[in-house]
Structure 1
Amino acid sequence: MISLRQMRSVVAVAEEGSFTRAAARENATQSGISQHVAAVEDVLGVRLFERTSDGVLLTPAGNRYYTKVLDVLRGAEDAIIDARSRKNTLSGTVCAGIMPVLARAALAPALERMARQHPDVSIEIVEGYSGALTDSVKAEELDFAVVPAFGGAMGLNVSHLARDREMLVGGALSGVVHGKPVRLSEIAPLKLVTPSRTNIRKARIEDYLTTHSVQVERIMEMDAMLGTLDFVARSDWVTILPGVICAPDMDGAIRRVAPIDEPPLFLDLVQIEPARQPMSTQSRVFLEEIKKEVGKLVAK
């Protein structure tokens, strides 16, 4: 008989590519994880992993077993969620990861509705950039997160959430004409604030600038959203941000916002969750509230 704990150990090693990292994720010892994997291999009569200089990789048999085990683990968790959902009131905890671009305008209304409609649900929010949020979801520290679209990763379920248009944002000294679509090559060279290289959006912005021959005079990297907004409002620097975060600036009083055009630049947002663990009822309800708010902001 193979236990759920042994299955989880196999999944952790497969997704982490290392017995050491799998042990840290499962709060276990490396020897304990190794024993679980060995026990499963003994029962199945096949090798699940092969060791390489870079870690461990699934064998073909291991890959098939991993895929089937995900369904078993999700089914076990789903049975627990279903039983708990039979209560008259929604309760429990939600741990969600949110990008800074969503935290400014979309988060508060969604939180307000949840607090008012489901007072027995406790919500924990972690604000961060895509790399850190993705790692936390894989480790099951977060129930879900909303991040920019990427190529996907083992151990995650990824679903499209929304598409948003990128905007050029600057202050009174920037020369940005509020509300007027702008072709970046026509206002270059730019003094541009961008995210750091740990942010997926950095590479996308650089690819756009290179592809469309947009000259850049200077670049400043800043992973501080409020700092970026304040800096461009006070200077002649500009930044590129999704429309969802620009909602409070649509009056043009402090910052000027112009849709990037010819061609437009878009940001696709996805929701990610652990592949081996279905989302709880309270997490699904909260995610729907976030989707509603993002939908309102993207449509503007």
Structure 2
Amino acid sequence: MDIKQLNALLAVAETGSVTRAAQVLHLVQPAVTRQIRALESELGVPLFERSRNGMIITEAGEVLVDHARRAVAELERARAAVRADPGMVRGIVNVGLLDSVTDLVAEPLVAALARTHPDIELHIFTAFAGHLRRWLYDGELDLALLFGVADPSAITVYPVAREKLWAVAPREAGLDPQQPIRFSEVAAHPLVLPTRGNALRTLVDEAAARAATEPQIGVQTNSARVLKQLVAAGHGWTVLPAVCLMDELTSDALSIAPLNDPAATRDLVLATPRTARPTPAVEAVAAALMHLLHRAVATGTWPSVSWNADGPNGAIHER
């Protein structure tokens, strides 16, 4: 089993076709076929089922793909680190961002690193908190900004900020951003909410329990953008963190107000795997990310947030 075979495996799994995989890898089709067959011969199990519709990965193939993806990523990071000049911060950094914060930091982070550390190759992955935690546990991410970490035993977490939850209603509801609203008033309307299992939905359910209310839930979706679209169209009210509502503070598409519930908050943290010591490149990305978040809090771009980190950069190597 070698790196060429693993690359062939990943390319076929992603494209579903030996022909397309060969194009991606800039190889001839027979070469890719030989590499897949060599892997299957070595392991003694089929990795794909051949069909008229392409290559369908088997259960054994899916297991190997998971391991191969991590192995190839580690080799790429090692290659970048070994080639780095002394004193130069260089390497590949896989950073995970909550889907709700991408508009706030993704592009500014790329721009900041292009200025200060142009030799860092940044890979940005966006997902919900549960997915980000799992990718950290599996070693697929070097760093992630997330919340809802109940068991930090497998990861190291660094406090970032505490963010209030807001009620979001159609424009005609006339909510006032300066006037907090009780959750019982929100629950008096049909709600559109994230599905159960989503960390934000758990926070909303806890708020409902504190208010001793049983909300009437209509539509459920795990997309903050879809939630806001449904509310704007009059399908109900919802609850979202402040970072999702930056545009709404200056527009009249929706009406919003913070929840009058001190416990209705989420604690954002920066997390790294415990199994790997952060590299200088990871530390540089973490510092840049923390600086951007602190600036957003200080300028009011990120509303109703209290800063929990030790300083504006919160560099992970200082802790």
Find the counterpart in structure 1 of residue 268 from structure 2: 269
Unmatched 5+ stretches in structure 1: 1-20, 28-79
- 5 Å matches for 1:79-158? 87-158=86-157
Is the contact between residue 181 and residue 260 of structure 2 (CA under 8 Å) also seen in structure 1? yes
Equivalent runs, 1:1-300 vs 2, <5 Å: 87-263=86-262, 265-298=264-297, 300=300
What is the Cα deviation at residue 203 of structure 1? 1.4
Distance 1:179 1:251, change over 3 A: farther
CA distance in 2, matches of 1:182, 1:296: 28
Cα distance change on mapping 1:138 and 1:298 into 2, 3 Å? same
- Specify the code of the residue in structure 1 equivalent to 2:283: R
Q: SS where residue 104 of structure 2 aligns?
A: coil
| TM superposition shift of 1:298 | 4.1
The amino acid that maps onto 1:149 is G
1:170 and 1:236 in contact (8 A); partners too: no
Q: Distance in 2 between matches of 1:114 and 1:167?
A: 32
Q: 1:185 touches 1:215 (CA, 8 Å); kept in 2?
A: no
In 1, Cα distance between equivalents of 2:67 and 2:121: 24
SS at match of 1:213: coil
Q: Which amino acid aligns with 2:286?
A: L
Bigger CA drift: 90-99 or 224-233?
Answer: 224-233
User: Relative to 1, partners in 2 of residues 1:147 and 1:167: Cα closer, same or farther, differing over 3 Å?
Assistant: same
Cα distance, 1:98 vs. partner? 0.7
Task: Please state how far the C-alpha of 1:266 moved relative to its aligned partner.
Answer: 0.9
Query: What is the match of residue 56 of structure 2?
Result: none
What SS class does the counterpart of residue 105 from structure 1 fall into?
helix
Distance in structure 2 (CA, Å) of the matches to 1:160 and 1:248? 26
Q: Please state whether the residue corresponding to 1:190 is helix, strand or coil.
A: coil
Q: Distance in 1 between matches of 2:102 and 2:271?
A: 17
Pick closer, same or farther for the CA change 1:235–1:112 going to 2, 3 Å. farther
Aligned length: 230
CA distance in 1: counterparts of 2:295 and 2:244, whole angstroms: 12
Q: What is the identity, as a one-letter code, of the residue corresponding to 1:136?
A: W
What is the CA–CA distance in structure 2 between the aligned matches of 1:257 and 1:293, rounded to whole Å? 25
Asked if structure 2 preserves the Cα contact closer than 8 Å seen for 1:243 and 1:297, the reply is: no
In the TM superposition, residue 296 of structure 1 has moved relative to its aligned partner by 3.5
CA distance in 2, matches of 1:170, 1:290: 31
User: What is the Cα deviation at residue 127 of structure 1?
Assistant: 0.7
SS of 1:223's partner is coil
- Aligned CA RMSD, in angstroms, stands at 3.0
**Mean Cα displacement is larger for which, 186-195 or 156-165?**
186-195
Name the stretch that deviates more: 273-282 or 236-245.
236-245
Greater length-normalized contact order (CA 8 Å, ≥ 6 residues apart):
1
Distance 2:121 2:145 in 1: 19
After superposition, the C-alpha distances for 1:236-257 in whole angstroms (9 at most, x for unaligned) are: 5222111122222221332322
**Is the contact made by 2:189 and 2:237 (CA closer than 8 Å) also made in structure 1?**
yes
Q: Percent identity?
A: 21
